[in-house]
């Protein structure tokens, strides 16, 4: 699989959708009843939920680490990161391994399929007021009658609170 | 200008020069008023030169003003290494004065106007020129003898090749045939980056070889083979530099080559002064190589700043031509350290020579150096010259460490996979298959050992490097120190060797600076005048042991404690055991040196050492006896990639505790446990009180685990012992270490992750972090709740754990009075 590096939004956080072609293939998954999508090029693999070794003194959403063929990678619980209540894992729960500069895993309820979404079908994220941070949403993708929230997975996983992981030990 | 005035000015110049030379020979770097005086004279000379080119030529004036500027920097304290700079300044001034005196002194001298001499290049303030001399009188063209010397010198110094002294310079019209070395700005082509990288690496190795060889030559100056050994690396560097157009390095090495060539052909005695000169060339070479290495980090920067070599080159040329006596230079330098002239700490003087000292400098303690002989002999050490090592024609190949690391990672995985296979039921039940798998196991183990061995490097060269350090430091400190080493064949992982270098340097410095007493004190204490520093490496109990031993004055707990109290590191009422007092030296900012020298005493040394060693997952312990000496014992794991650990279980999670830290494990009786109001639980182990750490609570995994029904592991923690309460000891295992990545690097108590035998991840514990986290918890009175994590156990529920919130409060103390335990 070739690795393409997609343009990053400008550092001020504004998304220049107009200058950026968001069309492409997205892997979609569910958290509760909401559907999300991630650029397929960032996805390395999908594995079923497995034993996760907990790491103490880390934020809530950091579930722990797993052994991925010899590499130890951190795993994030996306539900917790998005403020959703925790739920039991079942046989549909998956870990999506993404490459955001480093390998990380995210836990999702179910994985659906890969949709090819043309940029014409992608709209900028809704302005929901300052209470909701939408900086990590690339846009809203329309597939038939469904709307998928397309995530900027880099933003999601490399945001400030993850950097704050460093300081946990010093607390 | 009239002769009259000319003569006046000439004599004024002469007297200024002689005052200058006399004063600067007399004062030292601290004598600010003396320095100021000299500076004033320099200015005066420059001033004369402005109006009277005959009395003070342009070149001379320029040289003087350069020196004056350097003087200013020195006076203003802007120089990093004052003493050395001053010594060089002094040498340069004396040389200048001598030359001028010679030129001025002769009545009939006539030497011509200065020749070539371009001055300074690219705005550098270094003294680019060589010899002055000229036009003191309009006399005839026939050069007087002194003039000849000076002029000829000028001529020689200029070109790149050697010409015999005494060659008549061409007259004023023709420029000298030799030009002084003019450095050009260095530009490297980014396309050549690979070559340059290779150059830097190899140059480093050659420099190491040079340093070892220099000390060898110093020990046996008559030995031509050894001078050859010294000559060759310079020659190689010269070649490589030439190929890459590194002019400065190329010319510098060329000059030193010439000097050494004289030595090996018997035309020059290799005196201590020569050795010093060569060593200063080496230092300059290192700086040059460093500047090239820096270019590697920014290949597109363009011009590279390089340390000036012109003066050194000139000096070398002057020495080669016989115009300059290296020993005079050296005297200037060694006159600096107050008091006793130092002994070169020649590595084990098993041969009682130390002859080099005899001829060169006023080193009266030369006989003392020989006393080092008998004391060194008993220690069964091999001389620092590894007899066996560099075999000519050694077949070796350079490998990228990344490739090696990748290989070792893969081998690690291979071992795990193979273990899983060999344990599977299907294999075990089938005899034929079982045999085949056993065969595979054997082969895999062999591959593993080979892969590990590839990274192993003998520690010998690292120890050798200390020889030079000891020589320099002991000289500066005015003490006599003899360095002996043993176990230099001991092999360590390459990364460990790299990381251990700096800590060793610090500790050796400390040993000389703080440990070994001054010669007078030693004699008063009834010890031999020369102190001993001994470096040893060996295997002990499955680990590497490196020890540094000195027979100095040892550590005094009282002094350490007093200093720590003064620095506010501990409170006056704290009671410390002897070991704890020793451990104080590892506290940041701690230093008992009443005078900060430029080599140690800034209090930054030992805590960095400790950190380095902790990062290597090692341990350092101190054994000391006041008045007798101190020994530092560093224990390190054999390799970095694989760790021998004890797998333990707390709750559902498994952790690994490095076996090197475990002292013992036990299930204590209830009577042995005492609860302490503010400190939790303490275990009484044969009189020693060991704090217990509840890992389950600390990590938010479980509630309090009853030590008496489970296990307590007694582990080493910074010189003390702590007890870790765990639920189960699963077993000892060799596991492959994996880094957790930077995101997790600041976790207290966790130093990494490992892949366990069944492929799952286990976190590796690290005792000092655990202890710190435990203390913090205790003092703030909060337990580390794992935020909904505990007992993720049986069902993978994420709901809040019902058991969490009604945990019992901290143990109320029993009827026993609280026991104060110093938990630092």
Which of B121, B118, B151 shows the shortest CA–CA distance to B134? B151
Helices (H), ranges, B220-321: 224-243, 247-264, 272-297, 310-320
Helix B82-105, helix B310-320: angle, nearest 10: 50
Least confident of A12-26, B134-148, B270-284: B134-148
CA-to-CA distance for B519 and B340, rounded, in angstroms?
Answer: 8
Which of B801, B819, B520 shows the shortest CA–CA distance to B692? B819
Which residues of chain A have a CB within 8 Å of the CB of B784?
A: 56-57
Least confident of B55-69, B80-94, B119-133, B611-625: B119-133
* Interval A117-132: pLDDT, tens: 888 888 888 776 655 5
* Interval B89-109: pLDDT, tens: 888 888 887 777 676 654 333
**Please, which residues 21-60 of chain A have a Cβ atom closer than 8 Å to chain B?**
51, 53-58, 60
**Please, which residues 729-768 of chain B have a Cβ atom closer than 8 Å to chain A?**
736, 738-750, 753, 755, 759-763
Which of B633, B634, B660 shows the shortest CA–CA distance to B646? B660
* pLDDT, position B802: 38
Which of B204, B228, B199, B200 shows the shortest CA–CA distance to B214? B228
Confidence of residue B546 (pLDDT cuts 50, 70, 90): very high
Dmax (CA) of chain B: 116
* Interval B368-403: pLDDT, tens: 333 333 333 333 333 333 334 444 456 778 788 778
* CA closest to B800 among chain A residues: A86
Supply the ipTM of this predicted assembly: 0.72
* Interval B439-484: pLDDT, tens: 898 898 889 888 877 877 888 888 888 888 888 888 888 888 888 9
Which of B152, B128, B133, B59 shows the shortest CA–CA distance to B313? B128
CA-to-CA distance for B170 and B166, rounded, in angstroms?
Answer: 12
By Cβ distance, the residue of B744, B753, B760 closest to A51 is B760
Residue that has been written with the tokens 């080092």 in this structure: B372
Mean pLDDT of chain B: 72
In this prediction, residues B1-16 reach a mean pLDDT of 69
Which residues of chain A have a CB within 8 Å of the CB of B701?
A: 54, 56
* pLDDT, position B149: 36
Interchain proximity A74–B761, CB inside 8 Å? no
Q: Tell how strand A34-39 and strand A146-151 pair up.
A: parallel
SS3 letters across B454-474: HCEEECHHHHHHHHHHHHHHH
Which residues of chain B have a CB within 8 Å of the CB of A51?
A: 760
By Cβ distance, the residue of A66, A70, A168 closest to B747 is A168
CA-to-CA distance for B236 and B102, rounded, in angstroms?
Answer: 38
* pLDDT, position A27: 92
pTM attached to this predicted model: 0.47
Which residues of chain B have a CB within 8 Å of the CB of A76?
A: none
Kindly list the strands in the beta sheet with B711-717, ordered across the sheet, starting from the edge strand earlier in the chain.
B662-666, B711-717, B720-726, B688-694, B680-685, B673-676
| Extended strands (E) in B584-652 | 619-625, 629-636, 642-650
Q: Report residue B5: phi and psi, to 5°.
A: -60, -35
Strand partners, A148: A141
How far does B612 lie from chain A, in Å, by closest CA?
Answer: 19
């Amino acid at each position: 699989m070739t690795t393409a590096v997609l343009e990053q939004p400008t550092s001020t956080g504004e998304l220049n959708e107009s200058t950026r072609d968001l069309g492409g293939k997205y892997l979609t998954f569910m958290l509760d009843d909401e559907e999300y999508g991630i650029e397929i090029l960032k996805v390395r693999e999908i594995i079923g939920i497995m034993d996760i070794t907990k790491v103490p003194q880390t934020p809530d959403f950091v579930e722990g680490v797993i052994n991925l063929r010899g590499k130890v990678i951190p795993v994030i619980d996306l539900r917790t990161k998005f403020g959703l209540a925790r739920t039991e894992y079942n046989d549909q729960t998956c870990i999506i391994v993404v490459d955001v500069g480093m390998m990380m895993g995210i836990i999702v309820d179910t994985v659906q399929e890969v949709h090819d979404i043309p940029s014409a079908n992608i709209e900028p994220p809704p302005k929901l007021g300052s209470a909701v941070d939408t900086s990590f949403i690339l846009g809203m993708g329309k597939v038939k009658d469904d709307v998928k929230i397309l995530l900027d997975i880099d933003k999601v996983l490399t945001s400030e609170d993850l950097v704050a992981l460093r300081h946990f030990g010093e607390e | 200008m009239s002769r009259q005035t000319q003569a006046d000015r000439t004599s004024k110049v002469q007297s200024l020069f002689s005052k200058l030379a006399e004063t600067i020979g007399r004062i030292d770097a601290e004598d600010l008023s003396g320095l100021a005086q000299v500076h004033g004279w320099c200015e005066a000379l420059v001033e004369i030169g402005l109006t009277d080119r005959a009395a003070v030529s342009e070149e001379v004036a320029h040289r003087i003003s350069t020196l004056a500027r350097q003087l200013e920097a020195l006076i203003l304290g802007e120089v990093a290494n004052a003493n050395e700079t001053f010594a060089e300044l002094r040498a340069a001034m004396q040389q200048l004065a001598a030359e001028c005196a010679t030129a001025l002194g002769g009545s009939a001298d006539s030497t011509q106007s200065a020749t070539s001499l371009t001055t300074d290049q690219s705005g550098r303030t270094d003294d680019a020129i060589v010899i002055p001399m000229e036009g003191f009188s309009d006399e005839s063209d026939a050069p007087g003898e002194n003039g000849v010397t000076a002029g000829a010198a000028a001529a020689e110094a200029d070109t790149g090749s050697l010409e015999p002294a005494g060659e008549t310079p061409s007259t004023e019209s023709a420029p000298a045939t030799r030009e002084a070395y003019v450095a050009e700005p260095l530009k490297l082509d980014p396309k050549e980056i690979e070559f340059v990288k290779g150059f830097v690496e190899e140059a480093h190795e050659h420099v190491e070889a040079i340093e070892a060889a220099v000390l060898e030559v110093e020990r046996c100056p008559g030995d031509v083979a050894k001078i050859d050994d010294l000559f060759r690396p310079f020659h190689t560097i010269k070649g490589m530099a030439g190929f890459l157009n590194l002019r400065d390095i190329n010319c510098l090495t060329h000059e030193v080559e010439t000097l050494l060539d004289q030595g090996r052909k018997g035309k020059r005695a290799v005196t201590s002064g020569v050795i010093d000169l060569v060593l200063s060339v080496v230092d300059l070479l290192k700086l040059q190589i460093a500047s090239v290495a820096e270019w590697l980090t920014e290949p597109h920067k363009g011009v590279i700043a390089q340390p000036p070599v012109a003066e050194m080159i000139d000096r070398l040329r002057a020495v080669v031509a016989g115009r300059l006596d290296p020993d005079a230079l050296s005297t200037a330098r060694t006159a600096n350290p107050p008091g006793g002239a130092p002994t070169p700490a020649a590595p084990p003087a098993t041969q009682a020579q130390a002859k080099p000292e005899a001829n060169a400098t006023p080193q009266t303690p030369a006989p003392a150096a020989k006393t080092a002989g008998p004391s060194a002999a008993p220690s069964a050490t091999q001389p620092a010259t590894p007899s066996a090592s560099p075999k000519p024609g050694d077949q070796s190949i350079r490998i990228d460490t990344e490739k090696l690391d990748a290989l070792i990672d893969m081998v690690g995985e291979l071992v795990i996979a193979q273990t899983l296979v060999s344990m599977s039921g299907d294999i075990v039940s089938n005899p034929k298959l079982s045999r085949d798998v056993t065969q595979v196991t054997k082969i895999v183990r062999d591959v593993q050992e080979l892969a590990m061995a590839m990274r192993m490097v003998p520690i010998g060269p690292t120890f050798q490097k200390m020889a030079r350090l000891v020589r320099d430091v002991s000289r500066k400190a005015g003490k006599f120190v003899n360095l002996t080493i043993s176990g230099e064949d001991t092999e360590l992982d390459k990364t460990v060797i790299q990381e251990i270098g700096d800590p060793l340097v610090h500790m050796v410095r400390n040993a000389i600076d703080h440990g070994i007493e001054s010669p007078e004190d030693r004699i008063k204490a009834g010890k031999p005048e020369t102190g001993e520093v001994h470096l040893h490496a060996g295997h002990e109990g499955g680990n590497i042991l490196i020890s540094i031993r000195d027979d100095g004055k040892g550590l005094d707990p009282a002094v350490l404690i007093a200093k720590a109290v003064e620095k506010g590191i501990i409170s006056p009422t704290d009671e410390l055991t002897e070991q704890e007092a020793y451990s104080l030296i590892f506290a940041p900012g701690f230093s008992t040196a009443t005078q900060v020298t430029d080599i140690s005493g800034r209090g930054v040394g030992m805590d960095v050492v400790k950190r380095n060693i902790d990062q290597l997952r090692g341990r350092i312990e101190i054994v000391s006896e006041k008045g007798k000496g101190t020994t530092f014992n560093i224990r390190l794991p054999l390799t970095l990639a694989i760790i021998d650990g004890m797998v333990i279980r707390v709750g559902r999670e498994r952790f690994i505790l490095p076996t090197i830290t475990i002292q013992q494990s036990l299930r204590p009786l209830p009577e042995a446990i005492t609860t302490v109001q503010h400190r939790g639980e303490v275990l009484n182990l044969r009189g020693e009180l060991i704090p217990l750490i509840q890992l389950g609570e600390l990590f938010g995994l479980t509630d309090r685990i009853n030590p008496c029904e489970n296990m307590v592991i007694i582990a080493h923690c910074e010189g003390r012992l702590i007890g870790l309460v765990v639920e189960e000891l699963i077993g000892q295992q060799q596991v492959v270490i994996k880094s957790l990545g930077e995101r997790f690097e600041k976790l207290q108590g966790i130093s990494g992750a490992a892949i366990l035998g069944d492929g799952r991840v286990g976190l590796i514990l690290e005792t000092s972090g655990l202890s710190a986290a435990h203390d913090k918890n205790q003092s703030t009175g909060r337990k580390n709740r794992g935020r909904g994590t505990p007992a993720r156990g049986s069902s993978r529920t994420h709901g809040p754990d019902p058991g969490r919130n009604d945990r019992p409060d901290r143990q109320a103390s029993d009827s026993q009075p609280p026991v104060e335990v110093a938990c630092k």
